[in-house]
Amino acid sequence: MDKLIDKLVDNRWFMKAVALVLALLLFDAVYDGSDKSGEVNVPGDQDTELIEDVPVKSYYDTDNLVVTGVPDTVDVRVSGPKSHVQIAKTQRDFEVYVNLSDAEVGEKQVRILVRDISDRLDVTVDPLYATVSIQEKVTKEFKVEPEFNQSLLGDGFTSGAPSVKPETVKITGAKDVVDRISYVKAALDVKGPIEESVTGAASIRVLDRDMNKLNVAVDPETVEVTVSVKSLAKTVPIDVVRKGSLPSGVTLNSIDLDTAEVRITGSEEALGQTERVRVEIDLGKITKDGVQTLPVIIPDGITSVDPKTVEASVDVTAESQEDQEDAGSEAEEDEAETATPPAEETEKDETKTFSNLPIDLTGAAEGYTAAFADGSGRTNLSVQGPVGVVNGLGSADFNIFVDASSLSEGEHNVPVKVTGPDNVSWKLSRETVKISITQKNEEA
User: Rounded to an integer, what distance in angstroms lies between the CA atom of residue 168 and that of residue 189?
Assistant: 19
User: Rounded to an integer, what distance in angstroms lies between the CA atom of residue 327 and that of residue 341?
Assistant: 19
Phi, psi of 29 (to 5 degrees): -70, -30
pLDDT value of residue 261: 92
Which pLDDT band, with edges at 50, 70 and 90, does 394 fall under? confident
The stretch 321-326 carries a mean pLDDT of 54
Which pLDDT band, with edges at 50, 70 and 90, does 191 fall under? confident
Which pLDDT band, with edges at 50, 70 and 90, does 123 fall under? very high
pLDDT higher than 90, residue 11: no
Query: How does DSSP assign 103-143, residue by residue?
Result: --SEEEEEE-EEESS-TTSEEEEES-EEEEEEEEEEEEEEE
Each residue's pLDDT tens digit, 341-384: 444 444 568 888 888 788 888 877 777 888 887 666 888 899 89
pLDDT higher than 70, residue 433: yes
The stretch 69-74 carries a mean pLDDT of 95
- Calculate what percentage of the chain has a pLDDT beyond 90: 40
Look at residues 269, 278, 275 and name the one whose alpha carbon lies nearest to residue 234. Answer: 275
pLDDT value of residue 248: 84
pLDDT higher than 90, residue 24: no
125-129, 207-211, 386-390, 416-420: segment of lowest average pLDDT: 386-390
For residues 236 and 264, the answer to whether their CB atoms sit within 8 Å is yes
Look at residues 366, 353, 357 and name the one whose alpha carbon lies nearest to residue 417. Answer: 357
Which pLDDT band, with edges at 50, 70 and 90, does 443 fall under? very low
Which domains, from first to last, does the chain contain? 46-137 (2.170.120.30), 144-231 (2.170.120.40), 234-337 (2.170.120.40), 349-439 (2.170.120.30)
